[in-house]
Structure 1
Amino acid sequence: MSDSRSVLVLTNPYDVTADLVLRVLADRRVPVVRLDPGTDLHTGSSLTATYRTSGQRGTLRTASRELDTCQVRSVWVRRPSPYEGPPGLGDQERRFAAQQALWGSGGVLASLPGAHYVNHPWRNRAAESKPAQLSTAQRCGFLVPTTVITNDPDEARMFATRQPGGVVYKPVWNTPYRVDEQPHSVWVREVHEAEITDAVSVCPHMFQARVDKAFDARVTVVGGRLFGVRIDSPDLDWRHRQDLMTCTPVDVPEPVARVVAAYLTELRLVYGAFDFAVSTAGDWYFLECNPNGQWAWQPAETTTAIAHALADQLEKGPDT
C-alpha cells in the first residue's frame, strides 16, 4: 500500500476486543503499534516529544518498534490502563509520577499532528458525563425520559411521586464499589418514594421516569455507519444477567438515525454506543451514549461488521 504510516492502538494487554480489529488490519497489511501507556512507559517503553517554532517531532520506542509520532495515521483510544505510576514508589511519589504521566505522556499522545482519533481522549471524557449526554440528547431531538439529578431528598421523593409509570435509579458514574471485599456492580433498579432516604444528600443521585418498554436497543455507530441490535431480557438492566438476554439485529428508524448523527457531530465523536428503551408504542427513548462502549458481545455478524468498520476508520486516517 502507498501509505505506510502506522495506526497507534492505546489499550491494555488483555483487551481481546481490540484483537478483533487488529486481525483485520493485519490482513490488510496496515502497520500497527500497540501501547498501554499507563504501564508500558515505566516498563521499558519511552516517549519523547520536541516542540520548536518550526514544528514538532516525536519518538515512541517499545520493545519491538520505533515510531515517528508525527507520522501516525490514526489513534484508537480503546481501553488503556489508568496512569497509576510505577510500583515500588511511596504513595506521594507514585501519585506525583501518575499525574505527570497523565498530563505529560497522555497530553503528547492526545496531540499527535495530523492523526485521526477514534475517539479523541478529551472528547471521550467530555462525552462520558451523564448530564452532558442528557442535555445534548434533548438539544439534538431525542426522546428523553424525564430525569432528575439531585442531592436533595425532598426533591427526589417529590419526583418519584409525580411519575405514574414508576422511577428507576442509576448512578451518574460507574464508580468501582466493593461489598465484603468483593467487586459489586450498581445496577439500574426501580425505586419507590418510601425507599428514598436522607442519605441522598451525601452525593448527587440520578432518578429517571421508567419507560414502559417492549425491548432495549443498542446502536453502535462507527463513522456514520449504524449497527442496531434488539435486546430482550427478563431484567430491568440487561447487563445484570447477560446469559439470560437475547440479541437480534434490528433496523434503526430513520428519524432516530438522523438524531444519532446530530448527537455525534455536536460532541465530535467518531464512535458511540447508544442505549435506547423502545416503548410498547414503538418510541425510542435515549438512555445514554457510551463514547467508548464495548461491542464484541453482540451477535457474530454484528461484531464482525463493527470490527471491519473500525478498521476502515483507522486505515483511512485523517480526512484530507
Structure 2
Amino acid sequence: MAKILIITHSADNDAVTSVMEHLNAAGATPVRFNVDRYPLVTRLTSEFRGHERRLWLEDGSAPQSLEELSAVWYRRSYHIADGLDQVLEKPYLSPATGEIRRTLFGMLESLPCFQLERYSTYRRLDSKEEQLRIAAECGLLTPATCITNSPERLEAFMQSVNGPIVAKMQSAFAIHQDGQEQVVFTSEIRQDHLQQLPQLRFCPMTFQEKLEKELELRVNIIGKEIFAFSIDSQQQPGAETDWRKEGASLAVQWKPYALPGHVAGGFRD
C-alpha cells in the first residue's frame, strides 16, 4: 500500500484534507506532518545501522514508519518550531531553530522516493529572478520587472514603463499586528504610495508593469504532464489585482485550460 507524506502546518486550508480524502479513497495511506508541531509535540527520529535506515514520525498517536514512503508532497512549511520561543531562552533560540530546520529539511532531502517537490528545488525557485530567466527560456513573454531597494532606480523604472505598476514580495508571509493577521498581497502602486519611497531602502521589493488580465492561469507541471487551470478574477470585486485576496470565494470557479501548443511545448522542452 502506498504511503504518502504530506508536509504542511496545522492552520493550512482544506486543500490538504481534500487530498488526504482522495488518497484514502485510492487505497493509499496519507501521513500528515504539521511542521509547526515539531519539535515541541512531534518527534522525528532517524537511525542508521549498517546498511539499514529506520525513520519514525510520532505525533501523539501510533508511530509512523517513514523509510518505505512512496512519495512526498511538500506543500508548506510555515511556523516551524512554533512556540519554541516560549520555552527556550533567547541565546539558545537561534541555534536550536537552525538545528531543527536542518534536521527536518535534511531528512526530506535524503528520502529516495518521488517528491513534489524537493525542498532544495523549492529553495532554488524561491528566486523570482530564476523564475523569470526560466520563463524567458521557455519562450514566455514576461512583464517589465525591477527588483530593488533603491528608490532612485525604482523611480527611473517607473518612468520608463510609463504606466501602472504593481508591487509584490518574493516570499509569502503575514504581518501580525493588534491581534490580526495581515497578509501581504500584490498591490498596485498609487500616487500616495510614492511618499513612502524612501522606506524602500530598508527592504527590497519586486515591481512589475501591470498587465490587464483576461484570465488568471495557474500551471502545474509534474514530470512531463501539464495541468493548467483558469479563473476569471476580474469578475470578483477585490480580486482584480491579486486573486488570492478572494481565494476562498473563487475556489469553485477554477476550470481546466488548454495552453497554446507553443507554450506547452516550451514547458516540455
TM-score w.r.t. length of structure 1: 0.69
Determine what percentage of the aligned residue pairs are the same residue.
23
SS across alignment from 1:145: coil
Query: For the structure 1 residues 31 and 169, does the alpha-carbon distance in structure 2 shift closer, same or farther, using more than 3 Å as the test?
Result: closer
Q: Deviations over 1:29-57 (max 9, x none)?
A: 223332224424432534123265xx340
| Gap change, CA 1:147 and 1:209, over 3 Å in 2 | same
Match of residue 99 from structure 2: 100
Q: What CA deviation, in whole Å up to 9, does each residue of 1:161-182 have, x standing for no partner?
A: 1214422222233332245553
How far did 1:147 drift? 0.6
Aligned to 1:229: 230
1:220 shift after superposition: 3.6
* Paired residues for 1:116-265 under 5 Å: 116-191=114-189, 195-196=193-194, 197-223=197-223, 224-233=225-234, 234=237, 235-242=240-247, 247-262=254-269
How many Å separate the matches in 1 of 2:44 and 2:183? 36
SS of corresponding position for 1:169: strand
In structure 2, the residue matched to 1:58 is: 54
1:228 and 1:108, CA in 2 relative to 1: closer, same or farther beyond 3 A? same
Q: SS where residue 70 of structure 1 aligns?
A: coil
Q: Are the counterparts in 1 of residues 217 and 228 from structure 2 also a CA contact under 8 Å? A: no
Q: Does 1:78 align with 2:75?
A: yes
- Aligned to 2:135, the other structure's residue is in SS state helix
Q: Answer whether contact 2:215 2:232 (CA < 8 A) is retained.
A: yes
Distance 1:193 1:153, change over 3 A: farther
2:48 is paired with a residue of what secondary structure? strand
For residues 14-25 of structure 1, the aligned pairs below 5 Å read: 14-15=11-12, 16-25=14-23
Q: How does 1:18-33 map to 2 (within 5 A)?
A: 18-33=16-31
In structure 2, how many angstroms separate the alpha carbons of the residues matched to 1:89 and 1:169? 37
CA contact (8 A) 2:40 2:81 kept: no
Does 5-14 or 116-125 show the bigger shift?
A: 5-14
Q: 1:309 is matched with which residue? A: none
Q: Deviations over 1:96-120 (max 9, x none)?
A: 32221111233123212x3111111
Preserved contact between residue 3 and residue 69 of structure 2 (Cα < 8 Å): yes
Distance (whole Å) between structure 1 residues aligned to residue 222 and residue 121 of structure 2 = 15
Query: How many pairs were matched up?
Result: 256
> Relative to structure 1, is the Cα distance of residues 110 and 118 closer, same or farther in structure 2, using a 3 angstrom cutoff?
same
Task: Kindly state the Cα deviation for residue 60 of structure 1 after the two structures are TM-superposed.
Answer: 0.3
Determine which structure has the larger helix proportion and give its number.
Answer: 2
Q: Structure with the greater relative contact order (CA < 8 A, sep ≥ 6): 1 or 2?
A: 1
What CA RMSD, in Å, does the superposition of the two structures yield over aligned residues?
2.8
**Structure 2 unaligned blocks of 5 or more:** none
* Offset, 1:244: 7.2
CA contact (8 A) 1:12 1:79 kept: yes
Instruction: Work out whether residues 12 and 81 of structure 1, in 8 Å CA contact, stay in contact via their aligned partners in 2.
Output: yes
Q: Do the aligned residues in 2 keep the contact of 1:187 with 1:237 (CA within 8 Å)?
A: yes
Specify every segment of 5 or more residues in structure 1 that has no aligned partner in the other structure, as ranges: 263-320
Say whether the 8 Å CA contact 2:35–2:81 is kept in structure 1: no
**Offset from partner CA, 1:284-305 (integer Å, 9 cap, x none):** xxxxxxxxxxxxxxxxxxxxxx
